[in-house]
Amino acid sequence: MYLDVTISVYLYLLSYFVSCICCLAYWQYDKQCVPRSKIISLFLLFTTVLPYALLCANRSEYTGYDTENYMIGYWNMKYGMGEITNSGFNYLFRIARYVTYIIFGDNVKIWLFFVAALPIAFVNYVLKKYAKNKVEYAFGCLFFLLYLSPIMMDQSRQFIAVGMTMLAFFYLQQKNTKRFLFWVFVAILFHESCLMLIMFLLLSNKKTVGNRLSAISPIVIVTISIFFIQYFMDLIYLLLPPKFAYIEEQNKTTPGSDGSGLGWLVDVTPMMFAMFIYYKYRKKSNLNNLPLEICALSALPFRLAGYSSYFVMRLSYYGEAVCIMLLLGVLTLMPRYKAIFWTFACLVVFFVHWYVAFVILSGTHAVIPYSFN
């Protein structure tokens, strides 16, 4: 059953609001209660993911492009573990799906809940490490929900890897190489695109080169992305077989999220705004942020190239998630009045993006209107 678009919008926003309220309680307990019970802490973390995960669990196959495939893949587990031995790196994802089926049977809602709750749990856990107060933490979690959570209804498996990647990058900042590699390896077993993240380990160990890269990389990446869009896309079109020629015309004329003009700008605006704030105030941070900076800025060319290669576009999700870590890291270092101003500005930008990308351009990832199962 499809809901009205307006009701769908209010339903999503309500889930975000309740999640933020739960984030306040989670941060308050985890940071200020002594002694602290790990069981209570995990329960409060669970409450932060509950509202949106319930929304994901109760959706029909028509909400999210890949939802039906997730349902069919889950129900196919009744034929046994054969699929787990198929080619591909996502062994943990398939094992988790099989174990869930063994325990809960045909109840696919449990599986949809799990694949939605797990990435948000990682995100909320990591962002808590950057926030100095509960309000900044709640807003950081809200920025992620507005920017990326609708895509999770379409590409749940990769976003489990995205959440683990954020934790891996946190450990990389702390110069804990073993934990970084561990979480990257675990993430690869959910989605193979995480293989590229190992290269960021090299950047973290080259301080001199890193300072130079840090200075020129924003200029290089932004210049390539903005001033060479059309040349880049023309090159891609020349490489396409004749039967795909219609893609060129569609990308030039369609003002939606699949076009390389307005669509690209809509997709990257929140990330670019977050990175603008970060570069304005980053000198106050003493963390090793170069790998995260490069990862965040890589979302620009990945999004651009992604209009002709969907797998390349998927790589941009890592950068878009990481930019929220960097943003929250500098917001916590600002004077209070500046933090309030920039937090409000970010809220406006992220909300406008959410409304344009997922409501006005309602075909984006097929999340609005929402339909119940």
Whether 106 has a pLDDT exceeding 60, the answer reads yes
Whether 241 has a pLDDT exceeding 50, the answer reads yes
**245-301 pLDDT tens trace:** 444 444 444 434 444 456 677 888 899 999 999 988 887 655 567 788 888 888 887
Token digits for 325?
A: 């870590």
Q: Among 126, 109, 121, which residue's Cα sits nearest to residue 49?
A: 121
**199-240 pLDDT tens trace:** 777 666 555 444 555 555 555 555 555 444 444 555 554 555
**25-67 pLDDT tens trace:** 999 888 777 677 889 999 999 999 999 999 999 998 888 888 8
pLDDT, averaged across the chain: 80
- If you ran DSSP here, which 8-state letter would residue 234 be given? H
Cis amide linkage into residue 369, ω under 30° from 0: yes
**Where along the chain do its domains lie?**
5-366
Whether 22 has a pLDDT exceeding 90, the answer reads yes
The set of residues, in sequence order, having a beta carbon less than 8 Å from that of 55 and lying 6+ positions away, is 11, 12, 15, 370
Per-residue confidence (pLDDT) for residue 244, from 0 to 100: 47
User: Exposure pattern of 158-170 as b/e (b: 16+ CB <10 Å)?
Assistant: bbbbbbbbbbbbb
Query: What pLDDT band is residue 322 in, cutting at 50, 70 and 90?
Result: very high
Mean pLDDT, to the nearest integer, of 360-372?
Answer: 77
Q: Where are the alpha helices (DSSP H) in the chain?
A: 5-32, 38-57, 67-75, 91-104, 108-128, 134-152, 156-173, 177-188, 199-204, 207-227, 229-239, 246-253, 262-281, 290-297, 299-305, 310-331, 336-355
Higher pLDDT, 208 or 180: 180
Whether 372 has a pLDDT exceeding 70, the answer reads yes
The set of residues, in sequence order, having a beta carbon less than 8 Å from that of 206 and lying 6+ positions away, is none
pTM, full prediction: 0.83
CA dihedral 157, 161, 162, 163 (to 10 degrees): 100
